[in-house]
Amino acid sequence: MTEPGNTGEELSAWQRRLVQALDEAAELPVDTRGATPFETYAHYSHGATLRRYPPRGAERRRPVLVVYSLVNRPFILDLTERRSLIRALCDAGHPVYLLDWGRPRGADRFLTLTDYIDGLLAGAAQDIQTDEGEAPDLLGVCQGGVFALCLAALHPERVRRLVTLVTPVDCRTPGDHLSRMAQQVDFDRAAQTLGNIPAEWLNGVFVALKPYQLLAQRYAEMPELAGHPEALHDFLRLERWMYDSPDQAAAAFAEFARELYQRNALLDGSLEVAGQRIRLGDIRQPILNIFAQQDHLVPPPAARALGAHVRGSPYEELAFPGGHLGVFISRRAHRELVPRVVSWLAG
């Protein structure tokens, strides 16, 4: 416990460490491309690209297509050499592909979920299948998990197996604060008024769900990183990831928020993509569904609901004892969760 007479001295020391950490941070470059080398394998419309990370293991395994969310940049999956799901898959012998959605421009405001799922994603999966000689396994992350499920239902021939990671399926579960906030928003009007949805607007929404942990607590601990360049660099990369988000294509954003979070259309089978209803019961590929037990964005019941609706496919689920970001960046995730994913994909 701090002695009353030491409070001023400790505060001064904390301020000195903070200044030192800030000075050191200013000298560190922050690369947002990720830690693992890749080649740009294909260019698509609307600025989307397909990355290819070559396999590094002795035994070559099936291709994996990573489907990330539209909301953030994907480099959290490859944050550092020590904390990289992508590198772990490459080390296991998988050629890894990642569809980088790019950053929407003004004319992209009219892109729909059909454009993203039945256009860009389906095209990437087909290109991989053609070049690799077999359909890829899909690893869908958060919103990207929804897209992966939709593709598996629409084009089963282009998907061999599925890993869904912190993926919302039932958006009406208790404790779903994001869904509760969404009920009060007219997303179509927001899209008509704003055009592409500004990243700053969405970042504000996500911070509002957990303000103390994402603001006060994180920065109060920053002085402890002074003199530890590796830890400081990791901190800065995560900061860049959190606030270097792309804007959202207006039509697709409104459609996703309205259909999933307001109407729960993925769960009840009324979500339409490319003129077809997405029925989870049509999915026959094996699924590994991973959720985080302390997830404030995708509560466990929201993710676990998938199991009750894909009865025709071999289904496994895996609970991770952590939060939404913990499944990507925590030491425990890379010690325990990532090897489980690698092992399942090798089966």
The pLDDT assigned to 239 comes to 74
Residues 6+ apart with CB under 8 A from 243: 203
Report pLDDT digits (tens) over 118-169.
999 999 999 999 999 999 999 999 999 999 999 999 999 999 999 999 999 9
The strand ranges marked E within 114-214 are 137-141, 162-165
Take residue 33 and report the two structure tokens written for it. Answer: 């491309």
The pLDDT assigned to 104 comes to 95
**Candidates 90, 142, 150, 171; catalytic one:** 142
The pLDDT assigned to 25 comes to 53
The pLDDT assigned to 274 comes to 97
- Chain position carrying tokens 């989870």: 280
Q: Are 66 and 98 in contact (CB under 8 A)?
A: yes
Report pLDDT digits (tens) over 55-70.
997 788 999 999 999 9
- Quote the Cα angle for 274-280-282, to 5°: 80
> Would you list the domain boundaries of the chain?
31-185+250-346
Q: Say whether pLDDT at 315 is over 70.
A: yes
Is residue 323 very low, low, confident or very high in pLDDT (cuts 50, 70, 90)?
very high
The pLDDT assigned to 213 comes to 59
- CATH fold label, 31-185+250-346: Rossmann fold (3.40.50)
The pTM score is: 0.88
Report pLDDT digits (tens) over 209-239.
665 455 556 666 667 767 767 766 777 777 7
Q: Is 2 exposed, middle or buried (0-12, 13-18, 19+ CB in 10 A)?
A: exposed
Is residue 1 very low, low, confident or very high in pLDDT (cuts 50, 70, 90)?
very low
When pLDDT is averaged across residues 89-112 and rounded to a whole number, the result is 96
Q: Say whether pLDDT at 244 is over 90.
A: no
Report pLDDT digits (tens) over 275-311.
999 999 999 999 999 999 999 999 999 999 999 999 8
When pLDDT is averaged across residues 189-199 and rounded to a whole number, the result is 89
Q: 242 versus 175: which is more confidently predicted? A: 175
The pLDDT assigned to 145 comes to 98
Q: 178 versus 87: which is more confidently predicted? A: 87
142 carries an active-site annotation: yes
